[in-house]
Structure 1
Amino acid sequence: MAFGIVALVFLVSVCAVSCAPAEPVPIISQDSDIQPDGTFKWSYESGDGTKQEQSGQPKQIEKETPVVMQGSASWTDNEGGGHQLTYVADENGYQPQSPDIPVAPEIPPAIQRALEYNAAHPEQDGN
């Protein structure tokens, strides 16, 4: 019985420490500008050093006029490591750039040759 009470007190104290809400992070600066033509830009910086910004503008692409965007974000993780991300989103898709994005290993030469052979010799439809 005493062990059960000690275990319960321990669990409650662990939950009280780990379940407590984190301190709110203040916004140090914030800016936003939206134009009637669809052009926009916004940015913010928070008290923990997190920064983010994005801008966009309509762009005629064939028969459509999507809003193309570009932006960046930077933050510090819980271990103190800094991270940065920049990106463009346009007719070529979403194109992020960051040292944190994993890079695929090179394709082994034998597999590359097989892929090239398959591309040059598509199977014929027998129907």
Structure 2
Amino acid sequence: MDKETVTLKVFFEEPFWIGIVECTADGQMEVCKVTFGAEPKDYEVHAWLLKNYYRLRFSPAVSAEEQKEHNNPKRRQREARRQTAGMCVGTKSQQALSLLREQFKEERKLRTREEKEAEKEARFELKQQKRKEKHRGR
């Protein structure tokens, strides 16, 4: 049976409130980082997630091991305390976020390289045009 889970963890990372959205399906995990700015209320986070979920740009999929549910209430309480303390970003999430950062970095490099080449070509054409105007056969 296919099981999909979406987890949103909100924590304070100086100077902003950050949200990590983890989407796990078929043993693959995708992650997206969201910056909220000021401290969001629970209902604001819920409304934001409902409105903007389909606009999120997730990282490439990373394999994720299935975690079994714990019935021990003390263990669940300990895990919840860790998550609220800001230590909630797991290593798999960090790997996925770093992959996403690398992907954005490559896209940005490609885009700036194309813009520089286009600018260089435009300057060359302008230079050629001025050169032709100077030598009109006089």
Q: Tell me the TM-score normalised to structure 2 length.
A: 0.30
User: If each structure's helix is expressed as a fraction of its own residues, which one has the higher value?
Assistant: 2
Point out the structure with the larger strand share.
Answer: 1
